[in-house]
Amino acid sequence: TVKHITYVGRSPHEAFFTPDGSEVWVTVRGENYVAVLDGHTYEEKTRIIVPGGPGMQIFSPDGQYGYVCSSFTPETVVITVKDHQIVGRIPQVTPFCPNIAVTPDGGQVWLTLKDVGKTMVFSGRPPFAVLKTLATGPITNHVKIVRNSSGTFAYVTVGGLNQVQVFRTDDFSKVTTIPVGKLPHGVWESGDGTLVYVGLENDDRLVAINTLSNQVVATIPIGQAPQAVVYVSDAVPTGAGAGPEGLQPLGVAGEAAHITLAEPGGGQPTSMSLFDQGLIQVLQAAVTGLEPGKPYVLALARRRDGAGPLEPLAAFTTNPAGAAVVDAIGPIRQIVRAATPAERRYLVIASGTPAQPGPVVQTQVD
């Protein structure tokens, strides 16, 4: 049931309750503020001015601080929850932070930097010093902290490598790398810390990972392009809503085509999904393995090797990690899966622009 609708500004990204439940902070990515809502009426009570493009907020477990990273400005700020004052500023390596997490003891704050494929860690207490910067890989998406009988660990989803990377929080050493499927994005732990759940954006699945063995123990088909994952312990322990009532078959939301592109002869692959919307599809590609900061074109070709004229679908520029998330829309599946050679086309990536495409650098392999 929708309890309330609050207009907070352009492009809100994340909302989170303060630990005492009295307020809801909403990062408004298209603006330069955090909208603060009353935790009971959900009406906006004030705004906290922050660097442009706030990406996400998280709170220290004791409720003293709110940490707000930015998706457009290379700076994270620390705000006192009691009086909404900025008391700390931490430089980000790059501007694009989509996700942030804090350790259970409040001692560390971890944030991801999607545009360069890195993860930063800073102290959760004054003077909020940067403790470590880890190179995690292209399209580093989300991070979550898990405490179990073996210690405290950070689980980082790396979309461009189709991995979850696990790090110790005491010495920042990498414990393991877990292959999970195409474009892992959201991650959240169970209440007892024994499992983490990961949404696979280009696989239309959710996987569960045992945090003691660090093995995938379940794979669950769900709807199209899962991104954020939220787990609430004992949210509905009994009564209405505790069982499967209200759930519906996926229908068209479960229909998608999955395609891989790669450099001729191998190389880091690009995963691609075509999500059915009836007569057309939304195409999403997790592009990796290209030159950083260069222009490219996603296009249709008449031949599998990309020879001949190209029909551009989308132009994009890679980030500093040589990656990008590229979107397009149209009746694409019908063309790339056509039965007759005269009608079939193949997805390719070429260097350059739609007006002046260069050599084809990745071709369709399935």
Predicted confidence (pLDDT) per residue in 260-283, tens digit: 999 987 777 899 999 888 888 899
Give the whole-angstrom CA distance, residue 199 versus residue 353. 33
Q: Are strands 324-330 and 205-210 parallel, antiparallel or unpaired?
A: unpaired
Distant-in-sequence, close-in-space partners of 106: CB < 8 Å, separation ≥ 6: 60, 61, 62, 124, 125
Q: What Å distances lie between residue 251 and 188, 220, 270, CA to CA?
A: 26, 16, 27
In this prediction the pTM is 0.92
Rounded CA gap, 352 and 7, in Å? 41
Strands (E), 269-317: 270-276, 281-287, 295-301, 310-317
Selected residue with higher pLDDT from 365 and 90? 90
Residue 336 scores a pLDDT above 90: no
3-61 pLDDT, tens digit each: 899 999 999 999 999 999 999 999 999 999 999 999 999 999 999 999 999 999 999 99
SS3 160: helix
pLDDT at 271: 92
Q: Is 253 helix (H, G, I), strand (E, B) or coil?
A: helix
Residue 174, classed as helix, strand or coil, is strand
Cis amide prior to 127 (ω within 30 degrees): yes
Q: Would you place residue 255 in the very low, low, confident or very high pLDDT band (cuts 50, 70, 90)?
A: confident
DSSP-derived secondary structure letter, 304: T
Q: Going by C-beta distance under 8 Å and a sequence separation of 6 or more, which residues neighbour residue 217?
A: 195, 208, 209, 210
Architecture of domain 136-230: 6 Propeller (2.120)
* Dihedrals phi, psi of 107, to nearest 5 degrees: -80, -25
Q: What is the CATH number of domain 255-364?
A: 2.60.40.200
Question: 130-184, pLDDT tens digit by residue?
Answer: 999 999 999 999 999 999 999 999 999 999 999 999 999 999 999 999 999 999 9
Euclidean distance between CA atoms 144 and 186, whole angstroms: 9
Two structure tokens written together for 262? 């790669």
Beta-ladder partners of 234: none
Q: What is the pLDDT of residue 166?
A: 99
| Alpha helices (runs of H) in the chain, residue ranges in sequence order | 332-336
d(CA 225, CA 205): 8
Looking at residue 209, what is its pLDDT?
A: 98
Domain boundaries, the chain: 1-95, 136-230, 255-364
Asked whether residue 328 carries a pLDDT value surpassing 80, the answer given is: yes
The pLDDT score that the predictor gives to residue 177 is 98
Q: 171: which 2 tokens?
A: 């010495």
Q: Which residue has the higher pLDDT, 329 or 241?
A: 329
Contact between 190 and 231 (Cβ < 8 Å) = yes
- Model pLDDT, residue 224: 86
Torsion of CA 100, 101, 106, 107, to 10 degrees: -70
C-alpha distances in angstroms, 183 versus 76, 93, 263?
26, 23, 18
CATH top-level class for 1-95?
mainly beta
Report the pLDDT value the prediction gives residue 237, as an integer from 0 to 100: 79
**Quick check: helix, strand or coil at residue 81?**
coil
- Do 1-95 and 136-230 fold alike per CATH? yes
Q: What is the pLDDT of residue 246?
A: 72
- Nearest residue to 142 (alpha-carbon basis) of 184, 94, 190: 184
- Alpha carbons 333 and 354: distance in angstroms, whole number: 21
